[in-house]
Amino acid sequence: MCGIFGYIGNDNAICRVISGLEKLEYRGYDSAGLAYVKQGEIKTIKSIGKVENLKISSCAISSKISIAHTRWATHGSATEKNCHPHTSENFAIVHNGIIENFEDLKRKLNYEFYSETDTEVVAKLLEEKYRECRKKFKVEDAVLHTIKETQDCLKGSWAIALICKLDPKKIYVFKNKSPIVVGIGKNESCVSSDINAIESDEFNFYNLEDGNIAVVKQDDVKFYDKNLNPAKLERIRQVQNKYFEDENFSHKMIKEINEIPFSIHQTAKIFDSDEFITLSKRFKKFKEITIIGCGTAYHAGLYGKYILEKYVGKKVDVVLASEYRYKTKIKSENELVIAISQSGETADTLAGVILAKESGATTVAITNVSSSSITRECNFTLLTNAGPERAVAATKSYVCQIYVLYLLACKIINKTPQRDLDRITEKFLKAFNGRFFEKYYSKQKFFFIGRLCDSSTAFEGALKLKEIAYVHSEGYPAGELKHGTLSLVDEKSLVVAILTQNIIKEKTLNAVHEVLARGADVILITQFHDIDFSGDIITLPNVCQEIAPLVSVIPLQLFSYHYAIAKGLNPDMPRHLAKSVTVE
């Protein structure tokens, strides 16, 4: 949800922030803008759409300092006026988050507003506070006090970078609940929503904590707590996780699907890690287990329930993080809360973790980003090691989340897990024709059905088709069809049935026959060879059925990708969505 990048140093800051924004575009891509200081004045350039447009309109400019933003609209549509940076007489700011009390603040401020955004209200509030502060303090102290007083008035979430025209050699940064990292190099410094957008191995990186203020100079940074006492921040030890482009693939999404085998290979290493062993040993003591997550991560959680209940014999609840955070929290002894999140930044999942901690639960993050906010909050982190994922649709990270849950369940019961899934998925990806589904593109209704862990794959298949190909589709537990949804099924429908579990073989096939009888076309995805079905079958490689969802989701990911391509859509940047949802 919005990417922030700032640069100060000897290079051309404009080029550097554009290059930073290009790497942050997965966080939002409806408009982009930047601010810089020229001859004592703040200048801004803004453009609608992708960062590419901003690049074109700013390529002739040069500056030593700039802050920039790529937007996912929350307050006010994607217009140039609403595009960040937002300004007041002395400040330009870029913001990631939501100021919940912006309307209240706006009413009290005696300014004219040019945009509909909550962010402009902060720019004007800063100005208001600055008028008083500059009478009492020198410039840097005046800005620091201005930020302190402004922060005290704000409610909601924010990571804000600002430049001040009277102090044009510094970027000020402050945050609450939204992530921001500061990188200090030799004669240059950056601020960024994501460490991986900063192109240098030689930087020292620092994650700001809530309430921290950073004063970032070309060669130095000073940190303060919310009362302006000097703060000492630990350097981040994590190395960056670079994203490598690959010209063999036309889109990130298909590249990332093809990285599944390697991601599985990397993730397998967790099995012998100390953290994994410690957690699995302690697992038996937990009386209650809850898994939380959003979107695709929630679907991985549903698989987690299946495998932990089946292997470990413990009752597991799976709750959408956006619901969990507002549920009546019943205090329980020995609760374990597992938060699944590719980015480790999803606001609802993070809030769920904080709530769980407050109620005394032990918390575990299953995440792909080792320096993320959720990682920092949780007692344990199980890293998925899928490598950076940039396409909005989670693909390889989902597969790795499932794999980690499977490995965890195996570890707890001392079972040897299936180890050759990298090789198996590689062979399957080579052999499977992604255009398999082409002849069904003209269907008007799409249903994905399955039972037990196949129902979580069904939910995921439907979600992928919605988000990438903009096709209305439903994921449904096969046994539930006849309780309502079957009335929608007719000859305009395609039903994709997933069948990987022996004990419900006949049951899922019953559902298949029921939809066939209503005129639907059916594709069966299964690893069983003894099924009497004359329609289209996608035969999965033979894997242990408890981990079959790791393979059965791949054709569904490819379905949505190829359908999107056939419709001329960009699967990497679906409309209205963003990869990292750091607002509620």
Q: How far apart are CA 7 and CA 480, in angstroms?
A: 54
35 or 393, CB closer to ligand G6P?
Answer: 393
C-beta closer to ligand G6P: residue 346 or 500: 346
Ranges assigned E (strand) in 343-486: 362-367, 380-383, 445-450, 473-477
Q: Report the C-alpha gap between 470 and 393 in whole angstroms.
A: 12
Residues 6+ apart with CB under 8 A from 568: none
Give which of 200, 162, 202, 205 is closest to 183, Cα–Cα: 205
Tell me the closest approach of the beta carbon of residue 349 to ligand G6P, in angstroms.
5
In whole angstroms, the minimum distance from the beta carbon of 346 to ligand G6P comes to 3
CB of 143 to ligand G6P, least distance (A): 33
Tokens, residue 237: 């030890």
DSSP for 115-156, written as a single string: SS-HHHHHHHHHHHHHHHHHHHS-HHHHHHHHHHHHHHH--E
One-letter amino acid identity for 575? R
Which residue's Cβ lies closest to ligand G6P? 295
Pairing verdict, β 335-341 and 316-320: unpaired
CA atoms within 13 A on the CB side of 224: 18
Least CB distance from residue 272 to ligand G6P, whole Å? 25
Q: How many CA atoms lie within 13 Å of 184's alpha carbon, on the beta-carbon side?
A: 18
Catalytically annotated residue among 2, 133, 294, 453 = 2
- Tokens at 498, concatenated: 């997933």
Q: Considering the complex, state which of residue 69 and residue 299 has its C-beta at the smaller distance from ligand G6P.
A: 299
What token pair was written down for 175?
């945050």
From the CB of 341, what's the least distance to ligand G6P, in Å?
3
Query: Shortest distance, CB of residue 580 to ligand G6P, whole angstroms?
Result: 6
Interacting residues toward ligand G6P by CB under 6 A = 294-297, 341-343, 346, 349, 392-394, 577, 579, 581
Of 379, 353, 368, 450, whose CA–CA distance to 401 is shortest? 368
Q: How far is the CB of 293 from ligand G6P (least distance, A)?
A: 6
Quote the strand ranges of 273-315, DSSP E. 288-293
**Minimum Å distance from CB 238 to ligand G6P?**
17
Instruction: Say which DSSP state 477 is in.
Output: E
Q: What's the full length of the chain, in residues? A: 584
Burial (CB < 10 A; 0-12, 13-18, 19+), residue 227, is exposed
DSSP conformation class of 272 = G
- Cβ-contact 344, 378 below 8 angstroms: no
Least Å from the CB of residue 132 to ligand G6P: 41
Point out the catalytic residue in the list 50, 129, 396, 579: 579
Which distant-in-sequence residues (6+ apart) come within 8 Å of 209 by Cβ? 175, 231, 233
Q: Which is nearer to ligand G6P, 215 or 365 (CB)?
A: 365
Q: Is 74 left (phi over 0), alpha (psi -120 to 50) or beta?
A: alpha
| Cβ–Cβ under 8 Å, residues 260 and 428 | no
Contact assessment for residue 398 and residue 296, using Cβ atoms and an 8 Å cutoff: yes
Quick check: is 2 catalytic?
yes
Q: How far is the CB of 298 from ligand G6P (least distance, A)?
A: 8
Name which of 492, 62, 76, 468 is nearest 256 in CA terms.
Answer: 468
Any residues with CB less than 8 A from the CB of 78 and at least 6 apart, and which?
A: 30, 31, 48, 71
Q: How far apart are CA 153 and CA 100, in angstroms?
A: 11
The set of catalytic residues is 2, 579
